[in-house]
Amino acid sequence: MLILLRPDVTAPQQAAIEALVKSHGLVPHVIPGAARTAIGITGNRGALEPGRYQSLPGVADVIAVSQPYKLVSREWKPDDTVVTVRGVPIGGQRITVMAGPCSVESTEQIHEAGRGVLRAGAHMLRGGAFKPRTSPYEFQGLKEEGLRLLAEVRAETGLPIVTEVKDTETLALVAEYADLLQIGARNMQNFSLLEAVGDLRTPVLLKRGMSATLKELLMAAEYIVSRGNPNVILCERGIRTFETMTRNTFDINAIPMLKERSHLPVIADPSHGVGVRSAVGPVALAAIAAGADGVIIEVHPRPSEALSDGQQSLDVAQFGLVMGRLARVAEAVGRSV
């Protein structure tokens, strides 16, 4: 439930409202907004009686929040959330571009990638150090060595780092290096990991599970936010369907639907979303046209030598071309890169 306060509410009125909520065994969350302040209520197991709060001094309105998610909803917080990652704002007027290889593979590879994507105009560097792989016999990443290499490139280029955390055991280590913690698709409903990153304040890039509904994605974000970490960025990365010509089916509908239902920033991952190099650029443009707040793109200095995801990685020159087109489409929808 959400209590909307009047613009002229006084501090004592607001304090009294919060106290009443607590006296009912519930938790009040103050949500300041541009135009008005609201108080969200959590902790109830069923529906609440709005009449309890409707007529209190300072209350403009009380609205039920019908969705099973609350803190991440637009009803709860009408204004867009902007998450700042080491100085880079995500979710505002400007489109954010994250780029880099699927996996950190070597000193040379990641430095080359970092310099390349910086030169092409990227705002952040991506790269996996701990890789969840379908087979136990595949390359599992350089682990801590990979994180150190990412930090080296950050020191050189100034690009903030986004990298995946795959379990709670390595979370503390990854969080030492990462500016933005990526939760992968397979972990979207790893609730223990969601709670653990919810206890931090490091921003989180939460990827949609490969067969998760949008409602489930929002619920997963709710796990993180309800633990106290408001810095969540949603990521559409394609869902699993019957189509086999592409690796996944990028759900373009998810972009406007998530933006409408939630105040959180939404990023698109066209690389996994289509999984075919020649189509990555077009899908990236589509996501921006549909209202995404940014893209995350796999770029490798030499895709044909990549240890993972080579078939969907752009080389630096191809990425540069996509950047140019992204800038034009961003401008067409009133934004910039």
Q: Which stretches of the chain bind its own copies, using CB under 8 A?
A: 42, 45, 68-69, 132-137, 166-169, 186-187, 189-193, 210-211, 213-216, 219, 222-223, 226-227, 239-246, 249-253, 255-257, 260, 273-274, 276, 278-279, 282-283, 285-291, 325, 328-329, 331-333
Q: What is the spatial distance between Cα 128 and Cα 96, in angstroms, rounded to a whole number?
A: 19
Name the DSSP letter for residue 201: -
Closest CB to its own copies among 77 and 131? 131
Q: What is the spatial distance between Cα 318 and Cα 276, in angstroms, rounded to a whole number?
A: 13
Tally of CB atoms within 10 A around 297: 28
CB of 184 to its own copies, least distance (A): 9
Closest CB to its own copies among 89 and 132? 132
CB of 182 to its own copies, least distance (A): 15
CB of 266 to its own copies, least distance (A): 11
Tally of CB atoms within 10 A around 35: 7
Closest CB to its own copies among 57 and 68? 68
Closest CB to its own copies among 25 and 136? 136
Closest CB to its own copies among 153 and 223? 223
Closest CB to its own copies among 8 and 243? 243
Going across the sheet that includes 27-31, the strands are 27-31, 38-42, 2-5, 59-63
Coil/strand/helix, residue 96: strand
CB of 327 to its own copies, least distance (A): 9
Cα dihedral across residues 86, 88, 92, 98: positive or negative: negative
* Residue 115: exposure state from Cβ atoms within 10 A (0-12, 13-18, ≥19): middle
Q: Which backbone phi and psi does 70 adopt, to 5 degrees?
A: -130, -65
CB of 245 to its own copies, least distance (A): 5
Q: What is the spatial distance between Cα 173 and Cα 123, in angstroms, rounded to a whole number?
A: 24
Strand 59-63 vs strand 2-5: parallel, antiparallel, or unpaired? antiparallel
Q: Which amino acid is at 266?
A: V
CB of 273 to its own copies, least distance (A): 7
Q: What is the spatial distance between Cα 171 and Cα 59, in angstroms, rounded to a whole number?
A: 42
Closest CB to its own copies among 159 and 306? 306
CB of 279 to its own copies, least distance (A): 4
